[in-house]
Structure 1
Amino acid sequence: MSEPQKQPMVAVLGAGPAGLMAAEIAAQGGAEVTVLDRMPSPARKLLIAGRGGLNLTHSEPLPAFLARYGTAEARLAPFIKAFPPAALAAWAEALGQPTFVGSSGRVFPRAMKASPLLRAWLARLGGLSVTLRLRHRWLGWEDGALAFESPEGPVRLRPAAAVLALGGASWPRLGSDGAWAGLLDGVAPLRPANCGFRIAWSDHLRARFAGTPLKRIALSFGGRTVRGEAVLTAAGIEGGAVYALSGALREEIAAGGPATLSLDLRPDMNPAALAARLDGPRGGMSLANHLRRAGLPPVATGLVQEALHAGATAPLSRLVKALPLVLTAPMGLDRAISSAGGLGWDEVDERLMLRRRPGVFACGEMLDWEAPTGGYLLQACFSTGLAAGRAALDWARGQPAG
């Protein structure tokens, strides 16, 4: 068994954004900090998220921003108000990564990727003497000590305070596999969020259009409409507009069966004008050519034809404006951008300390909240990580030496 000579004041479990932020805050306060992660390198999910442009946060007014967290708004609001989007952007700029606001209001580093920011951040943590111990899988507690499996054998730590930043369960190959859920009480089942959904496409549609984007569309469900883009896949549909409605769709399916998503293929076109083009006689014109009169691309035409072959009887203009898509199941956690569920809010106090484990704090995606894409996910991870790191520092300072 490996026993370090000097126990850390604060141990942080998880080297993602929440954990590294907790480590930074505790170390800046003078704590000796060790970060442990089961993967061979830190912040793997952050690096993947930054491949297409690292969306750090969003610039919308804070009341609207906070409302994006739905039922968790009241619990997350104090932490985000204490470290709001402007503070996160300033933090990135202090690492030499200036930010800008995109046309959608999303905030990105000018480098449009995560690797330069992560390198600068790890250098800052190194300057604060934060120790990073990789390939350490947390096994729970043994005789009050944090127990880990490592390449060198079992490791036991007894820090003055600990921060759990173990992530959710999406993209498990990058580290956050949700295995920790069995080690804690009061954990709501981890489910896919910001995810795609399965649709039983015909072989013809799947063979011809899998991987094809749907641009400038609108999706409606449960009284809410979202404009944006999506992508047909061999198994169903995914993309930003779908993700925005995924929570409600997931719950509808879980409550007892398929959910029907309404797809508007021409949201900018007046229904009456569309009806004038499509609902009259088409003479000898083929259906595909007739649908082109509405300016539909081939993939949209294919979807309308798919609906007709499945027995749809609505006028063509109605199908174009409200094409029913029957979703049978969400895609799995291995393809989801984030996860819902996690450690229940009743299990932590206002400082994010576990009620059943004094001196142990939790932060990031492992808490029971979900949010849409657009910067809200990372913002809550950074903000709760900062709060947990500060609370752990305060707790560790109050403990007797030894």
Structure 2
Amino acid sequence: MAGKMAVADTASRADALVIGGGPAGLMATEALLDAGLSVLLADQKPSLARKFLMAGKSGLNITHDSTPAAFRAAFGAATWLHPALDAFGPREAIAFCEALGQETFTGSTGRVFPKAMKASPLLRAWLARLAGKGLQTRTRWRWQGDLGPFTFETPEGATEIAPRVTVLALGGASWRRLGSDGAWALPLASAGIPLTPFAPSNSGLWVRWSDHMRRHFGAPLKNVAFRAGDLTSQGEAVISERGLEGGGLYPLTPALREGAPLKIDLAPGLSMDDVARRLARRRGKESLSNRLRKALNLAPQAQALLMEWGRPLPGDAAELAACVKYLTAQHDGLRPMDEAISTAGGIQADALDTGFMLNSHPGIFAAGEMLDWEAPTGGFLLTASMATGLCAGRAAARYGRADARL
């Protein structure tokens, strides 16, 4: 790097370096500290875990109350994550929160929340615990992409660090303003590390609505089911000015990325025959809107979607029932990657050993959304980020202790 290096501070002599202060990086940090290594945690932003705090503003899903098998199934083909998820799954995530003084509760959908419903109390308690264990933190340190010695642009100038072990926990490629900009991909690819290109995950859809939909902007879609390809999801979504978004839709992102049509079941609690029978019971000059409301209990926003994408609506009850049960959404694809909650893609599994160390760069580990996996929201994503951070941190600690004895 051009320019004179800044005078090194005591942090340059840390045993371990963790780059990235989100949940994965913090978990790796704690594992390293618990193993007796001194740790420097560096982050490019003015404060740590900004995406974590933003995600928790509307209610922090710390994990999902699932059986181990059901929890693992949410990660699809990424079976290489299973050992990490078995070591830190829903029970361990709950115990982690409660050890920090944050009681939890489980919602009706299986999502687990801290009772405070926010990320900030949990983060404050966590950072205080890490500080008590001797953590050194540096913010506004931007890693320059080299793989040892590691150089940073800092407020004090360029700084170089050569630790025994390093954990990279730099996030994916969404929410750039919070630090997950994916800029690390280029230097890692240049170093020959195999990467899968980034793609949006847990993403909303672009929809060019007709004018009649304006009065429904911000309205929730409840008691509906979504299907795309082989994936199904039943949960809430929101009609927004720019399209559709929400937890009920996000798990379908992998299929939608591949071009599968989105089908919406507006009456998931009824069979097709039930819907047809109810719709056939016409009472006098009852309007179609009243018939849909009375027969199927369709909310105004659900009826609006039926009108938006189903017109001209068939008069035959069986054909109308098929429209209600298999309404095809007309959209312009996924929203931009930076608006997605998370990203797919990243460091491929065959680039890593079982402790998430880079095979081509011994002593350098990676964790969190940098790795090539994806999972739905609702606690799966966060727990897996923490699980991979813990696994990488423990493996890095073993490597660092062995290295010190050479």
Question: Do the two structures share a fold, i.e. TM-score over 0.5?
Answer: yes
CA distance in 2, matches of 1:107, 1:308: 37
Pick aligned residue for 2:394 from 375, 390, 393: 390
| Aligned-residue offset at 1:290 | 3.9
Q: Deviation digits for residues 64-110 of structure 1, max 9, x if unmatched?
A: 1111111112x111112222322222222211112233322222222
Q: 1:256 corresponds to which residue? A: none
| Aligned-residue offset at 1:364 | 0.8
Q: Which moved more, 1:172-181 or 1:307-316?
A: 307-316
CA distance in 1, matches of 2:230, 2:59: 31
| Aligned-residue offset at 1:132 | 0.7
| Aligned-residue offset at 1:398 | 2.3
CA distance in 2, matches of 1:369, 1:224: 17
CA distance in 1, matches of 2:327, 2:335: 21
Pick aligned residue for 1:225 from 232, 236, 240: 232
Q: 2:385 corresponds to which residue? A: 381
Does 1:166 find its partner at 2:170?
yes
| Aligned-residue offset at 1:335 | 2.1
CA distance in 1, matches of 2:327, 2:312: 12
Does 1:337 find its partner at 2:341?
yes
Q: Deviation digits for residues 318-364 of structure 1, max 9, x if unmatched?
A: 21121111333111222211110011111111121111211100011
Does 1:214 find its partner at 2:221?
yes
Map 1:28-39 to 2 at 5 A: 28-39=34-45
| Aligned-residue offset at 1:281 | 7.0
Matched-pair contact (CA < 8 Å) for 2:43–2:141: yes
Matched-pair contact (CA < 8 Å) for 2:21–2:49: yes
- Number of paired residues? 393
Q: Deviation digits for residues 206-265 of structure 1, max 9, x if unmatched?
A: x23222211111112224432222111222211111112111111x22xxxxx4211111
CA distance in 2, matches of 1:161, 1:216: 50
3-state SS of 1:71 partner: coil
* Unaligned ranges ≥5, structure 1: 254-258
Pick aligned residue for 1:351 from 351, 355, 370: 355
Identity of counterpart residues, as a percentage?
A: 49
| Aligned-residue offset at 1:378 | 1.3
Q: Which moved more, 1:178-187 or 1:392-401?
A: 392-401
Matched-pair contact (CA < 8 Å) for 1:278–1:293: no
CA distance in 2, matches of 1:352, 1:106: 28
Matched-pair contact (CA < 8 Å) for 2:314–2:320: no
Q: 1:17 corresponds to which residue? A: 23
3-state SS of 1:51 partner: coil
Pick aligned residue for 1:105 from 110, 120, 126: 110
Q: Deviation digits for residues 292-334 of structure 1, max 9, x if unmatched?
A: 3332222122222223447889832221121111333111222
Change (3 A) 1:302 1:123: same
* Unaligned ranges ≥5, structure 2: none
- What's the RMSD between the two structures over aligned residues? 2.2
CA distance in 2, matches of 1:388, 1:312: 57
Change (3 A) 1:370 1:159: same
Matched-pair contact (CA < 8 Å) for 1:279–1:317: no
| Aligned-residue offset at 1:115 | 1.0
